[in-house]
Structure 1
Amino acid sequence: MATPIIIDCDPGHDDAIAILLAYAHRDVLDIRGITTVGGNQVLEKITDNALRILSFIEADIPVAKGAAGPLLGKLVTGEEAHGESGMDGPVLPPSLARPTDQGAVEFMLELIRSSDDKITLVPLAPLTNIALLLTAYPEVKDKIERISLMGGGISYGNVTSTAEFNIYVDPEAARIVYESGIPITMSGLDVTDKAAIFEDEIEELKRRGPVSVLVGELLDFYSIYGKKMGYVGNALHDPCAVAWLLHPELFQSRHLHVTVETEGKQTRGMTVADQRKKTEHAPNVEVLVDVDRTAFINLLFDSLARLDQQLLAARGV
């Protein structure tokens, strides 16, 4: 039986790839809905990106718009990495679909309440929507199986020396989620930087079917920022949170107590992990720390090949 999930995202190149990865495995992951939140770009742009991706693969999944900015302060976007549209690179045709009339919190609430099975949340963005849901309706915690998120890092950051982008954008929201008591699997920079795809692999994607070509074009643009920052290869951050749900055996993890720093001038947005051998804090997060990169890339390639075949068949090719 497929695991029911809700993807909360801000597409975003790697968000788009994570959505494709999940959709390729509908026998394992049942995407009940997608919610959007201001992050990599402003809310209108990233919501449009989500709709365009779904239209491209002819996926009928409802999309609900969420918070335009963090709980406190102004939105910091990832335009430098993701471009003016939030998903620069390939030119996707406009989507004929529109977001639901419900906002993200009400949309998630209804999906969770109406489900016979517990829902797994997959946040790939600032955690504003999830924090708003848990604060307004704390009773839904009992109907959430797990949160598999992309965010943070227990060794270093990328926006600052200590803070990763998704957590840095809304640390107050992240702290609410991390301290919610819900089981959390954290795909932070410690593992996502190891889940890299290299130029020869990106070129191979562009010689395949339409979905693979789309991903190759996304990565062509997305890798520009990584090269500027000195990276070899392009880290596939958000797909890790989906890949763990599909094949947890690809990853190594540590169970740690993690909270979020909201006040420090140098450490705001830092995911603070207690790594002492003896601690008064009970572990609250499964922190992914390593990945079998080859198997991870094979999973991605095989998943995109599935979508290529399905899309070509739907087009009568």
Structure 2
Amino acid sequence: MAQKVIFDTDPGQDDAVAILTALASPEALDVLGIVTVAGNIPLDLTTTNALKLVELAGRTEVPIHSGCEKPFGRSLVTAEHVHGVSGLDGPDLPAPQVPPRSQHGVDFLVETIRAHAPGSIRLLCLGPLTNVALAIAKAPDIAGRLQDIVLMGGGSFEGGNITPTAEFNIYVDPEAASAVFRSGAAITVLPLDVTHFMRSTRERIAAFAGLGNRAGEAVAAMLTFSERFDVEKYGWEGAPLHDPCVTAYVLAPQIFKGRSVNVEVETSSALCRGMTVVDYWGVTDRPKNAVWVRSGDADAFFALLTERIGRLP
């Protein structure tokens, strides 16, 4: 049976590839809905982008719900310098024809998780964790009703990408991230420690472009645009493709390797705001609250993404 999943996301070119890969896999993933959050860009644009993606995939039956427009008690930090003004700069995607649903995304999360059998839903988080933390604060029982939360965020061995110590998704709303890690939910983290090695080289982007469908052309255009920032920053042969690691992990966990650890989030330090403090080597007695993925097979990862994107219109 297909795994039931909900995305919480701030699209974002890499979010887009993660979502499109899932929408192309209906035999494996039953996407119950997509909830948007402010992060890479403001909420109105993340919602518009999610709508564009379900239309590009021919999956307009998947409901889109807008969530929170800013973090807990902080000003919103965005990343147009990476993703462009629209968040999906690169391809020329048409304006969406289907509107978002009227129900707030946090209420959708609570209602949907409670409506399904315990352990039957996986929550796939690709952006700041504002919606998820608020949903758990509103309905603490849902943390235990989820099968798990699989999220892209944080970094330990690779440091940060928005500050020397913090990864962007966690940095934007560290209080929300801290609350989620303390919620008791089963959590798997795809951090920079693995995503930095999943690089969209020219050959891998060309493989998307060569699929001969609109989705492949769009993905190639997205990655060609977004990779310029990281290629210049790191000097690598390609840019890290972060968020699709979440979808790939759910579809093919054998691609990745990790271990159970304790993760705490720094919320008060001026220098280390949003740092994920990971007890990878077990040097404390803090309880293990997450699976921290540290490595993966990049060739298998891109082969999976390319095959799935090739299924779309």
Q: Deviations over 1:103-132 (max 9, x none)?
A: 011111111111135211001000000000
The question of 1:167 aligning with 2:167 is answered: no
What is the root-mean-square deviation of aligned Cα atoms in Å?
1.1
Residue 269 of structure 1: how far off its partner (Å): 0.2
Residue 38 of structure 1: how far off its partner (Å): 0.4
The 3-state SS of whatever aligns with 1:216 is helix
Q: Give the match for residue 145 of structure 2.
A: 143
Q: Contact 2:193 / 2:294 at 8 angstroms: preserved in 1?
A: yes
Q: Give the match for residue 153 of structure 1.
A: 155
2:129 to 117, 127, 138: 127
Equivalents in 1 of 2:261, 2:207: separation in Å?
38
Q: Give the match for residue 248 of structure 2.
A: 243
Q: How many correspondences in the alignment?
A: 308
Q: Give the match for residue 228 of structure 1.
A: 232
Q: Deviations over 1:36-95 (max 9, x none)?
A: 000000000111011011111211210000000101111000110001111111110111
Residue 206 of structure 1: how far off its partner (Å): 1.4
Q: Give the match for residue 176 of structure 1.
A: 179
Residue 256 of structure 1: how far off its partner (Å): 0.7
Equivalents in 1 of 2:304, 2:203: separation in Å?
17
**Identity rate of aligned residues, in percent?**
41
Equivalents in 2 of 1:167, 1:93: separation in Å?
31
User: Any unmatched runs of 5+ in structure 2?
Assistant: none
Q: Give the match for residue 92 of structure 1.
A: 93
Q: Give the match for residue 102 of structure 1.
A: 103
Q: Give the match for residue 10 of structure 1.
A: 10
1:284 aligned partner, one-letter code: N
Equivalents in 2 of 1:231, 1:157: separation in Å?
16
Q: Give the match for residue 265 of structure 1.
A: 270
The 3-state SS of whatever aligns with 2:310 is helix
Q: Give the match for residue 287 of structure 1.
A: 292
Distance 1:283 1:91, change over 3 A: same
User: Any unmatched runs of 5+ in structure 1?
Assistant: 312-317
Q: Give the match for residue 219 of structure 1.
A: 223
Equivalents in 2 of 1:206, 1:258: separation in Å?
38
Residue 140 of structure 1: how far off its partner (Å): 1.4
Distance 1:278 1:77, change over 3 A: closer
Equivalents in 2 of 1:257, 1:4: separation in Å?
27
Q: Contact 2:9 / 2:36 at 8 angstroms: preserved in 1?
A: yes
1:57 aligned partner, one-letter code: A
Equivalents in 2 of 1:101, 1:204: separation in Å?
38
Q: Contact 2:197 / 2:240 at 8 angstroms: preserved in 1?
A: yes
1:77 aligned partner, one-letter code: T
1:298 aligned partner, one-letter code: A
Equivalents in 2 of 1:304, 1:17: separation in Å?
8
Residue 277 of structure 1: how far off its partner (Å): 3.9
Q: Deviations over 1:280-299 (max 9, x none)?
A: 11211100100101111110
In the superposition, the TM-score normalised over structure 1's length comes to 0.95
2:243 aligned partner, one-letter code: D
Q: Give the match for residue 314 of structure 1.
A: none
Q: Contact 2:189 / 2:292 at 8 angstroms: preserved in 1?
A: yes
The 3-state SS of whatever aligns with 1:81 is helix
1:187 to 185, 190, 194: 190
2:100 aligned partner, one-letter code: P
Q: Which consecutive segments of 4 or more residues in structure 1 shift more than 6 A? A: none
2:27 aligned partner, one-letter code: D
Equivalents in 2 of 1:78, 1:191: separation in Å?
21
Distance 1:277 1:40, change over 3 A: closer
In the superposition, the TM-score normalised over structure 2's length comes to 0.96
